[in-house]
Structure 1
Amino acid sequence: MKTIFKLIFLLGIQFLYSQNTLSGTVKDASNESPIANVYVFISELNKGVLTNNEGNYILNIEAKGRLNVQFSHLGYQTVLQSAVVDATNTTVTLDVVLKESTANLNEIVVTHAFENEFKQNTFKTDVVHKDDIQKVGGFTVMDVLNKIPGVDATTTGTLISRPVIRGLSSNRILTLIDGVRFETQQWDDEHGIGVNENGVEKIEVVKGPESLLYGPEAMGGVVNFIQSKPAPVGTIQGSAFTSMSRNNHGWRVLANVDGAKEKLNWGVSALGKLFSDYFINNQTFRVPNTRLSEYGAKAYVGTNQKWGATRLSYTFNQAFFGILDGKDILFGPNGEIINTDIEKEKYPLETEAPFHTVVDHRVISETNFLLGKSKLDAIFSYQNNHRTENEEFALGKILGKKGYKYVDMTLQSLTYNVKWNTPKWGRFSSIAGTQGMFQNNQNNSGAKTVLIPDASIADFGFFAVSKYEHKALNATFGARFDARNLATKTTLGYNYAIPEISRSYNNVSTSLGLAYTIAEDLVLRTSFATGYRSPNLNELTSNGYKLESRRFEIGNANFDKEHNNQFDFSATYEGKNISLETSFFFNRVNNYIYIAPTGNLIANNINPAEMVAEYKFYQSNAELIGGEARLDIHPVGWKWLDFETKFSTLEGKRTDNDSHLPMMTPTKLSNTLYFNCKDFWKLSKNSFNINLASTFDQNKVEANELKTKGYCLVNFGWFTSYKSFDFTLTANNLLDKNYVNHMSRFRPFNISEPGMNIAIGCKKNF
């Protein structure tokens, strides 16, 4: 009798769970054979499962509403389907066929307002994956982002870099992580992007104004770090990765564990990095104090219920960046570089003054409410960024290796982002939303000086955007209003005072994009978008000597907002043997802010007896024009061979005197041959590549800017798998070329980029 009751109980539970189900079969489009281990993921519920050996899947769903279902598997084009689960449609069957993909162009893009397949996007988006950092032997995420045509990086050594998209950088590029605008002290070139790959699945890059969806500081583009998806229901999975780089004796470790049940998912991950100074000239010259130590952790927990899903995450990260300020570099009688920083070790790792310390705490809450035919997304976050800078004592390291605290600032930010996806009306889908931020910057006691004042910023914006779909045509259009109030307190610096200011900035942004697909292979896109940003605190209030840049900088409290208008056209063709992407852009920037030397010497406020170079911030209208191209040849009959070439060029000028803008990315050309080899012994997925990366002369420079010679680099990569282990071997700058990067802040010191660097990596999946 007990057995009967137990059976009835289990059947009852199964009956309850089967009230709402999504099921189906996934097959290969070429031969209709089932595909196992396809990840079927519902973004609204943050929930997914894997297909079994017969290609079947089943998802138990308590919620009701319109759901976006992603089908993804390595080597196949990702497919996005829509499913409606309601009172009259509780059992939904969704069968899907997947096509093989060589070029991997058909990604699911989430950066834009609507979750789309790549070819449905009206704005071109580039996607790179976290594992690509390993495959290119990179030190940071920027080492893979700058492989995208039209994207470069302003660098301070190998470990501090920030993105440059089509010539625009600084606060003109918005960084998003886990759906939240990442707020840190990024008002100066010496501060990096501040985000690493911990807990990240992929990175999406949009070139051009995205102020319509994200507000201020998205006028040049968006770099969006997309969080990792949860584990499939009923599984616990994870990985551990480690790598070593020869040039700077660097180590990188990354590990994660994720699990999921029917209504619960969770995950933890941790990251550690330790890099010494990098070398040039065949390991004979060490570039002093270009080292880094960094560690961090992330944890999240999420649940899905009848009303939708929610997820809460916490991230901690701390990094110590060495500062090369020029005092340790001298030039001999023949122009040779001399390093006066004497170290006992060849690869010093200890943090010594001068250095930055950056500590981040980030709490993010993400919730999706399913409201029948519509849905509501709400993201709230709290961020605490603590930045300090330690400098050497005047007598050197005798008084302590850590020096004295030169700057100490805490930036706290509260952000919200609420979007309502309205019910679909015919061929139209619409979103209305509001976003905002409350921010406070505080200079802490005990620091020697103040670089930017105590300040508060309040942002408010609301927007509406619509999408129209008709057969091969996709169109998006929308508008947005933003208001920013900025107020600073009277702040005493070292031998000077920063007066109190109060400013308000308002803006209306618009956007129109069209995408037309011809015969499923060719997609034509054109767009027009506007963006804006308000001047940052550094540009408004600077009035003192900067130790690292070794110059006296003067801001202007009366600066107007920057705003721009960009026209963009692109064409993407993806055939069986060839993939081709081309794009052209024209960007008009009004009230462009830049810094330039005045030619005068001024008394150093830190040491009034010393006269130093005076630099001022200016405003002028500017125009940027350029384009990119990418060609991928992957013959169907020669699956062992793949050739890719990428090209980018741009020119930036002031419109008042037709002079060139400073720090513009030079023209670049990259050619790569990929060879996919058969399984050998117990090694599988064998592939290697040879890359020739050419950077052309940069002679189109600002009047007081140095020109830079072009160079060619040879790079090599090898990848293989053994059981559950993945191995990578890379060799960058294989010929140990001595060259100067035009986008490097070390260029005035004539310091070259790293010489040959061999890196090995190993990843264990479990």
Structure 2
Amino acid sequence: MRKIFSVVFFLAAIMAAHSQTSVRGNIVNSETSQPLENASVYISQINKATASDTNGNFQFSGLGKGVYSLQVSFLGFESEVETLTVEDEKEVIINIKLDPQPFAIQEVVVAAAYEKPQQEETFKIDVIPKEQLSKTGGMSVMDIIPRVPGVDAVTTGPLVSRPVIRGLSSNRVLTIVDAIRFETQQWDDEHGIGINELGMDHIEIIKGPSSLLYGPEAMGGIVRFVEEKPAEVGTTKADVEAMAYSNNRGGRVEASIKSSKENFNWGFRALGKLLSDYFYDGFDFRVPNTRLLEYGAKGFAGINKPWGNSKLSYTFNKAYYGILDGKDIVKDEDGRIINIDSLEKEKFPFEIEAPYHGVTDHRIISKTTLLTGASTIKATLGYQNNHRTENEELAGSKKGYTYLDMILKSYTYDVKWVMPTMHNFHTIVGSQGMLKTNTNGDDGTTQLIPDATIKDIGLFGVSRYEQDRYNFSVGVRYDHRNLDTEESQDPSVFQPAISRSYDNLSYSLGAAFEPIEHLIFRASVATGYRSPNLNELMSNGVKLESQRFEVGNSDFTKETNTEFDGSIAYEGKEISMEGSAFYNSINDYIYITPTSEEVSSNLDPDVMVPLFEFQQNDAHIYGGEFMLNVHPTAIPWGHLESSVSTLKGQRSDNDAYLYQMPPTKWNNDVFITWDHLGQLTGWTLNVGTNTSFEQHQVAPNEMETDGYTLLHLGLDTHFKKMEFFLNANNVLDTKYLNHMSRFRSYEIYSPGRNISLGIKMPLM
């Protein structure tokens, strides 16, 4: 790892003597030719941002020879990406015309490897701006991710959830944060995604294994958290945002400051959340111990020179998640749940009490981009330390005792070479690797997974061929993994030492064709793989949260899949629609299933608990999504968004349904805007429904769920430079069981009505 750091900074040093030039440009409305003031212009190769002046003009200086991508965006207009080649010291002049689109589908330019507008990608990338969190009254990023058709979430209450992409979750979904693979203890369905909105600009979601650029184990897809851009050159910006929620009487606060000079930028951001237990049935029933305390901070500093840019960031985050423990749940004669924590005297308790998870994260990331003329080298190095503890109940102690103590350290590298363009071929080759160590700390009284070391190395190459109306892409990736575990020292759990190796060759093929303007056909086929995780290989004991005895199998082989995708999209001025279908064939799919047997608990031999086993069989998942957006020019103040997603997952040997597959969903939103009302400007009213259909296609012994429809309202407006948000989710206080909730087996309903109020205010 030290050698890699040395090479990167040595290359940066020898490039420092590059000649440099400047770029001037003008941004106007394509229909009226009027200049656009405060349009955002960003060049990722030098990590530099600026804004247009009153005449629509902008300028960058200090550029060396190379190929640059100018990302240009302005509210109410389609974003654009302009490719710029600097070959000598002459000033480069570029004029940019943006097309008006009051309800642009892609408000944020997709920051994919090729930095192309969405319509030029051979596979779809869904983009979720961070602003959606406040505009929808969300408490975490997992409140906005499931708004994408085909994406759902496995939840353990409203504050602990993780993404499901087309029926696949856990290690089958790859999470990328600040350009590195994010590693946490994601093998457990009670562990959330572990990421918050701190320092985030937007989220990108890629469905299926089509992208080979980010790492292995993306069988289901990729959730990519893209960090915020630096401040515009010559400015210092600071703001604060706060939200309050009625259902759990909680709130969150985020504050930031960032500044940029010609060759240097820095920033600091802090976040805090405090949320009590959630309610349904008005405020008649509090779901015990579903509270959260979270706080964190992120700082970064970067330099940009004619040779490129380099940036170093550090993130700290601490979170305490309450656990609704399965062993404590009993019902009275009326069928209402009684929980030990229900004896809490406060109606809105905030104090963290056992049982709970405590998660501490440290992340250090170094990103360097080197411009070498017609090509670019990108190197990202990362260190992550994820420390998770679980405290269980102990008489006479609110904090209980430490049941689990797990430390996960990950060292990652990612090097990409964006090669010179040759005959319309744009090629990227690179390598990624990871060293991951899992250690059980001294404070824990039990061990769920053994001490282990995992070593990864991957090599890949992806190429695109571009013409006026069609694009082709082809990619290949090789991955090798070594996994070594140590024999368990816990006398109550036998876990022998094992050593396993996994090799895999993946590929992807994609094509996009635009026969007429605005009509796009896409088709792709791609393969992926995933090695069994430590839980699936080594489980041999009782899980306290679910009160079941889980048994793994150390002989499991790797999972592989092949997914076929096809879509048709029309993106017009007044109407946009897209229909897509997929078929995912999975070899050696690993799943957990009840055996209908009971065995003695390894923690207390006198207690009998149900036996669950991990098993492996071939499976297939197929389905599709449809999206419709109507934004008529005759009604510029109105906009409609509608989407439907459906899928079916089955074992291939007996057609039995897979466990916890998302039901069919139908979402609708109507947006109404107006300019001003009194001194308040920029009004947007959102009225929408989220419909989940009944789910009867369930695995053996899995609980079925009924359908339901939830109503939500949203309103945001501006007063001078301040922005206000008012949202109401589940307006009718509907009682419903979410099929993706781990609480449904306890017959615990999801959150009732929740009203939120927020403000975002610039400080400078």
What amino acid is the match of 2:709?
C
CA contact (8 A) 2:235 2:261 kept: yes
The 5 Å alignment of 1:435-584 reads 435-584=432-581
Mapped partners of 1:142, 1:317: distance in 2: 17
Q: Are residues 683 and 111 of structure 1, via their aligned partners in 2, closer, same or farther at CA, if it must alter by over 3 Å?
A: closer
Counterpart in the other structure of 2:268: 268
Match in the other structure for 2:355? 354
Report the AA paired with residue 488 of structure 2: T
Shift of 1:74: 1.2
- 109-118 or 583-592, larger mean C-alpha shift: 109-118
Aligned residue identity for 2:468 = K
**1:40 is matched with which residue?**
41
SS at match of 2:760: strand
Q: Conserved in 2, the CA contact under 8 Å of 1:418 and 1:433?
A: yes
Greater shift after overlay, 571-580 or 530-539?
A: 571-580
Residue 370 in structure 1 maps to residue 367 in structure 2: no
Question: 1:684-699 alignment to 2 at 5 Å?
Answer: 684-699=681-696
Structure 1 equivalent of residue 661 of structure 2: 664
Structure 2 equivalent of residue 681 of structure 1: 678
Name the aligned partner's letter for residue 184 of structure 1.
T
Q: Which moved further from structure 2: 372-381 or 99-108?
A: 99-108
- Count matched residues: 746
**Equivalent residues of 1:588, 1:624 under 8 A apart:** yes
SS at match of 1:133: helix
Letter in 1 for 2:26: T
Distance 1:518 1:682 in 2: 48
Q: Structure 1 residues 109, 62: CA separation in 2 closer, same or farther (over 3 Å shift)?
A: closer
Task: Quote the residue 2:62 is aligned against.
Answer: 61
**Distance (whole Å) between structure 2 residues aligned to residue 83 and residue 92 of structure 1:** 9
Q: Which amino acid aligns with 1:259?
A: S
The alignment status of 1:600 with 2:597, answered yes or no, reads: yes
Q: Return the letter of the residue paired with 1:352.
A: E
- The one of 637, 651, 655 equivalent to 1:654 is 651
Per-residue deviation at 1:105?
2.6
- Can you list the C-alpha shifts for 1:618-670, whole angstroms capped at 9, x where unaligned? 00111101001111111101111111111100000000001100100000111
Q: Which residue of 2 aligns with 1:5?
A: none
Q: CA deviation at 1:582?
A: 1.2
Choose 710-719 or 335-344, whichever is displaced more. 335-344
Q: Hey, what's the Cα distance between the residues in 2 that align with 1:322 and 1:428?
A: 52
Q: Give, as a single letter, the amino acid of the residue that structure 2 aligns with 1:182.
A: F
Task: Report the Cα distance in structure 1 between the residues aligned to 2:463 and 2:640, rounded to whole angstroms.
Answer: 39
Could you tell me whether the CA contact under 8 Å between 2:629 and 2:642 is conserved in 1?
Answer: yes
Equivalent residue, structure 1, for 2:721:
724
Structure 1 counterpart SS, 2:705: coil
| Amino acid across the alignment from 1:283 | F
| Aligned residues of 2:78 and 2:100 also touching (Cα < 8 A) | yes
The answer as to whether partners of 2:447 and 2:493 remain within 8 angstroms in 1 is no
Partner deviation per Cα, 1:452-472 (whole Å, 9 max, x = no partner): 000000000101111100111
Give the Cα–Cα distance (whole angstroms) in 2 for the partners of residues 70 and 109 of structure 1. Answer: 7
How far off its partner does 1:598 sit? 0.8
Partner amino acid, structure 1, of 2:197: E
Q: Is the 8 A contact 1:641 1:674 kept in 2?
A: yes
Q: Which residue of the partner structure matches residue 632 of structure 2?
A: 635
Bigger CA drift: 493-502 or 599-608?
493-502
Q: What residue is the counterpart of 1:161 in the other structure?
A: 161
Are residues 19 and 438 of structure 1, via their aligned partners in 2, closer, same or farther at CA, if it must alter by over 3 Å? closer
Q: What's the offset of the Cα at 1:357?
A: 0.3
DSSP 3-state at the match of 1:745: coil
Counterpart in 1 of 2:144?
144
Structure-2 change in CA distance of 1:236 and 1:18 (3 Å): farther
**Letter of the 1:201 counterpart:** D
SS state at 2:697 partner: coil
Equivalent residues of 1:80, 1:108 under 8 A apart: no
Shift of residue 304 of structure 1?
0.8
Q: CA deviation at 1:159?
A: 0.2
Conserved? CA contact 1:112–1:213, under 8 Å? no
SS in 1 for 2:675: coil
AA matched with 2:392: E
Per-residue deviation, residues 291-346 of structure 1 (Å, max 9, x unmatched):
00000000000101121110000000000000001344322223233344211211
- 1:107-136 per-residue CA deviation (whole Å, 9 max, x = no partner) reads 565564322110011111110011101111
In structure 1, give the amino acid aligned to 2:139: F
What's the counterpart of residue 416 of structure 2? 419
Q: Kindly state the Cα deviation for residue 507 of structure 1 after the two structures are TM-superposed.
A: 0.1
* Paired residue type of 2:506: S
Given that 1:451 and 1:493 are in contact with CA atoms closer than 8 Å, whether structure 2 keeps it comes out as: no
Q: Give me the whole-angstrom Cα distance separating, in 2, the residues matched to 1:583 and 1:102.
A: 25
Distance 1:111 1:651, change over 3 A: farther
Give the match's secondary structure for 2:387.
Answer: strand
* Cα distance in 2 for residues equivalent to 1:526 and 1:484: 30
Per the alignment, residue 405 of structure 1 pairs with: 402
Unaligned 5+ residue runs, structure 1? 1-15
2:671–2:686 contact (8 Å) kept in structure 1: yes
Distance 1:472 1:106, change over 3 A: farther
Identity score, percent: 49
The two structures, once aligned, show a CA RMSD in angstroms of 1.4
**Is the 2:198–2:298 Cα contact (8 Å) retained in structure 1?**
yes
Q: Give me the whole-angstrom Cα distance separating, in 1, the residues matched to 2:252 and 2:596.
A: 44
For 2:318, the equivalent position in structure 1 comes to 318
User: Any unmatched runs of 5+ in structure 2?
Assistant: 1-16
Q: Is the 8 A contact 1:239 1:255 kept in 2?
A: yes
Q: What's the offset of the Cα at 1:21?
A: 0.7
- Any conservation in 2 of the 1:448–1:494 contact (CA below 8 Å)? no
SS in 2 for 1:498: coil
Give SS of 1:392's match: strand
Counterpart-to-counterpart distance in 1, 2:579 and 2:618: 27
Q: Distance in 2 between matches of 1:574 and 1:685?
A: 25
- 1:52 aligns with 53
Tell me the amino acid that sits aligned with residue 581 of structure 2. Answer: F
Once residues 298 and 510 of structure 1 are traced to their aligned partners in structure 2, the CA distance between those partners, rounded to angstroms, is 36
Q: CA deviation at 1:137?
A: 0.9
Structure 2 counterpart of 1:367, one-letter code = T
Number of the residue aligned with 2:77: 76
Using structure 2 for the length normalisation, give the TM-score: 0.96
Matched position secondary structure for 2:352: coil
Q: Secondary structure at the match of 2:676?
A: coil
Give the AA of the match of 1:202: H
Q: Aligned partners of 1:444 and 1:693: how far apart in 2?
A: 43
Q: Describe the SS at the equivalent of 1:748.
A: helix
CA, structure 1 residues 720+546, in 2 after alignment: closer, same or farther (shift >3 Å)?
same
Deviations 1:121-179, CA, capped at 9 Å, x for gaps? 11111100111011111111011010111000000001000000000001000100000
- The separation in 2 between residues aligned to 1:314 and 1:215, in whole angstroms, is 22
Distance 1:664 1:496 in 2: 31
Q: Deviations over 1:484-513 (max 9, x none)?
A: 000000112251221000000000000011
Q: 1:593 to 1:97 in 2, by over 3 A?
A: same
Q: Cα deviations across residues 660-700 of structure 1 (Å, max 9, x unaligned)? A: 00100000111111111231111011111111111100000
Instruction: Give, in angstroms, the shift of residue 270 of structure 1.
Output: 0.5
Query: What secondary structure does 2:194 align onto?
Result: coil
Determine if contact 2:73/2:109 at 8 Å carries over to the other structure. Answer: no
| Contact kept? 1:109, 1:125, Cα under 8 Å | no
The Cα offsets for residues 582-616 of structure 1, whole Å up to 9 and x where unpaired, read as: 11100001110000011111110000111110000
Quick one: structure 1 residues 99 and 494, their matched pair in 2 at CA, closer, same or farther if it must change by over 3 Å? farther
After superposing the two structures, state which structure 1 stretch, 325-334 or 344-353, moved more: 325-334
Give the aligned partner of residue 23 of structure 1: 24
- Give the Cα–Cα distance (whole angstroms) in 2 for the partners of residues 652 and 327 of structure 1: 31
> What SS class does the counterpart of residue 212 from structure 1 fall into?
coil
